Amino acid sequence: MKKIIISILSLLTCSSFLFSQNSVENIISEIEKNNTTLSALQKSMEAEKLNNKTGIYLQNPEVEFNYLWGNPSGIGNRTDFGISQSFDFPTVYKYQNQISDIRNNQVDLEYQKQRKAIMFQVRSLCYDLIYANAMYVELSKRVDHAQSIASSYKSKFDVGESNIIEFNKAQLNLLNTTKQLESVEIERETLIAELCLLNGGEPVEFNESEFTMPLVPSDFEQWYAQAEQNNPVINWLKQEVELSNKQLKLNRAKSYPKLQAGYMSEKVVGEQFQGVTVGLSIPLWENKNSVKYARANSLAIESITTDTKLQFYNQLKALHAKAVALQKNASDYRTNLLLYNSSDLLKKALDQGEISLIDYMMELSIYYESVSNLLEMERELNKGFAELMQYM
C-alpha cells in the first residue's frame, strides 16, 4: 500500500513540469518536420505565392508585319512593320504589386493557421496519452494490489477462514481491475497510432505519465491584446481590409486612360515612311461599377472583421474563464485528496478484521475514483490551456 501511495504522490507532484513540457514540445517538433499535411501545405503555399506574382507586369508587346503585293504590278509592293507597347496608368502597377504582397502575406498567415490547428491536435493527443499512461501506471499498481488481496483470500478460503462471498468479491475485483488495465492499454496503442499518422508514419515514443500544471494568465485583457496581435485569423482579416482598400485604389486607377506607344514604318516603291505611334484607350464601359463594387466590398469586409474580432474576444474570454476555473479546481482537488487519504488506515482495519473485505473495497474504490477524477481534471486543464494558447 505504501508503494501505491508513493506512486500517487509522485503522480500528483508538479516537479516534473519542465521535463513533461519538453517531452510534449519534442513530439511537436518532430511531427512538424515529418507531417505530410504541413509538407503539402508548404508546397501549395509556394505555388500560390508564385501565382500571386503573376499578371502584375506590363502587357506583352505587339509586333505587326505586313507584305502587300501591288496590282497592277507596276506600282510595286508595300511593306509595313510596327511594334507597340500598351501601358496602364502607372499607379495600376504600383497597387497590383502591393496587392500581390498582401496576398502572399495572407498565404503565410493561412499556413500558420493550419499549422496551429495541427499542433493543437498533437498537443491534445499528447495530453490524452499522458492521461492514458498515468492511468496505466495507476491501474498496474491496483492490479498488483488486487492480486495480493485475491491471493490472500484464496488462501483463507482454502483453510476455511473466509467465506465464498468474500472470495468471489476478491476475484471479481481482480477481474475488473485487470480489464480496466487492458482497456487503457488499447487506448494507449490507439493514441500512439494517431501520433504516428501525424508524424508521417514514423514511429513515436512518448511514455510521459505526469501532467504539468500550466500557469493560466491572470490578466485576461493584457493577454488578449497580445493574442489578437499574434492570431493568424485576425491578422488575415486585417490584411483583407488592407487588400480591399488597395483594390479600391486599383479600380480607380484602372478607370484612367490606357496608353499605347510604338514604332511603325511603311515602304512602297520609291518611298518610305517611319515614326512613332501613340494611342489612347478611353475606359467608358469596360470597368463600369468596378469602383462601386470595390467600395461596397471594402465596407463589407470591415464589418466582417469587426464581427470576427468580437466573436474572437468572447470565445477567448470563455476559454480563459474555463481554464482559470479548472486550474483552481485541480489545485484544490489535489490538496484535499492528499489531506483526506485514508488508504493506510483502511488496510490496517482490514488486516485487523475491523472491516470486511466488501467494506474495504467500497471505501478504497472511493479513493481510486478520486485519483481518476483528478487525472481527468488535469487532462482537461492541460487541453483547455492548449486550446487557449493556440491563438497566441
The pLDDT value recorded for residue 115 is 92
The mean per-residue pLDDT over the stretch 111-129 comes to: 93
- Among 128-142, 315-329, 360-374, where is mean pLDDT lowest? 360-374
* Structural domain contains residue 128: no
Residue 306 CA to residue 224 CA, distance in Å, equals 16
- Among 121-125, 175-179, 261-265, 270-274, where is mean pLDDT lowest? 270-274
The pLDDT value recorded for residue 20 is 46
* Structural domain contains residue 148: no
The pLDDT value recorded for residue 14 is 34
C-alpha cell at 199: 508524424
- Structurally, the chain folds into a number of domains equal to 1
Please give the biggest Cα pair distance in the chain: 138
Residue 357 CA to residue 378 CA, distance in Å, equals 31
Range of the domain at 225: 8-118+209-389
The pLDDT value recorded for residue 180 is 93
* Structural domain contains residue 325: yes
Which stretches within 13-89 are classed as H helix?
17-34, 36-52
- Higher-confidence position of 63 and 284: 63
Strand pairing class (78-87; 62-68): antiparallel
Instruction: Give the model confidence (pLDDT) of 13-66 as tens digits.
Output: 333 433 445 588 899 999 999 999 999 999 999 999 999 888 888 888 889 988
* Structural domain contains residue 161: no
Mean pLDDT over each residue of the chain, to the nearest integer: 83
The pLDDT value recorded for residue 286 is 64
CA distances from 2 to 335, 345, 348 (A): 19, 11, 12
C-alpha gyration radius of the chain = 37
Instruction: Give the model confidence (pLDDT) of 211-251 as tens digits.
Output: 888 888 888 898 888 888 888 888 888 888 888 888 888 88
Q: Is 298 helix (H, G, I), strand (E, B) or coil?
A: helix
Q: For residue 283, is the peptide bond before it cis, meaning its omega torsion is within 30 degrees of 0?
A: no
Q: At what angle do helices 17-34 and 164-198 cross, to 10 degrees?
A: 50
DSSP state of 98: H
Q: What's the CATH number where 81 sits?
A: 1.20.1600.10
Instruction: Give the model confidence (pLDDT) of 325-383 as tens digits.
Output: 988 888 888 888 777 776 677 767 777 777 777 777 777 777 888 888 889 999 999 99
Global confidence as pTM: 0.79
On the question of pLDDT at 203 being above 80, the answer is: yes
Contact 151, 170 (CB under 8 A): no
* Structural domain contains residue 145: no
Query: Which DSSP helix (H) or strand (E) runs through 121?
Result: helix 90-158
Query: Which DSSP helix (H) or strand (E) runs through 273?
Result: strand 271-281
On the question of pLDDT at 10 being above 60, the answer is: no
Instruction: Give the model confidence (pLDDT) of 74-116 as tens digits.
Output: 777 888 888 988 878 788 888 889 889 999 999 999 999 999 9
Residue 149 CA to residue 365 CA, distance in Å, equals 14
Contact 25, 208 (CB under 8 A): no
Distance from CA of residue 203 to its chain's centroid?
22
* Structural domain contains residue 127: no
The pLDDT value recorded for residue 256 is 79
In sequence order, the β-bridge partners of residue 292 are: none
Q: Closest Cα partner for 322 from 377, 390, 375?
A: 377
Phi, psi of 146 (to 5 degrees): -65, -35
Residue 130 CA to residue 88 CA, distance in Å, equals 62
Residue 207 CA to residue 129 CA, distance in Å, equals 8
* Structural domain contains residue 18: yes
Q: How much of the chain exceeds pLDDT 70, in percent? A: 92
C-alpha cell at 57: 507586369
C-alpha cell at 325: 476555473
In sequence order, the β-bridge partners of residue 265 are: 81, 274
Instruction: Give the model confidence (pLDDT) of 258-283 as tens digits.
Output: 888 888 888 887 788 888 888 777 77
* Structural domain contains residue 234: yes
On the question of pLDDT at 12 being above 70, the answer is: no
Residue 207 CA to residue 20 CA, distance in Å, equals 10
Q: Is 66 helix (H, G, I), strand (E, B) or coil?
A: strand
Query: Which DSSP helix (H) or strand (E) runs through 87?
Result: strand 78-87
The pLDDT value recorded for residue 378 is 92
The mean per-residue pLDDT over the stretch 293-304 comes to: 84
Contact 99, 261 (CB under 8 A): no
State the pLDDT confidence band at 197, using cuts at 50, 70 and 90.
very high
State the pLDDT confidence band at 9, using cuts at 50, 70 and 90.
very low
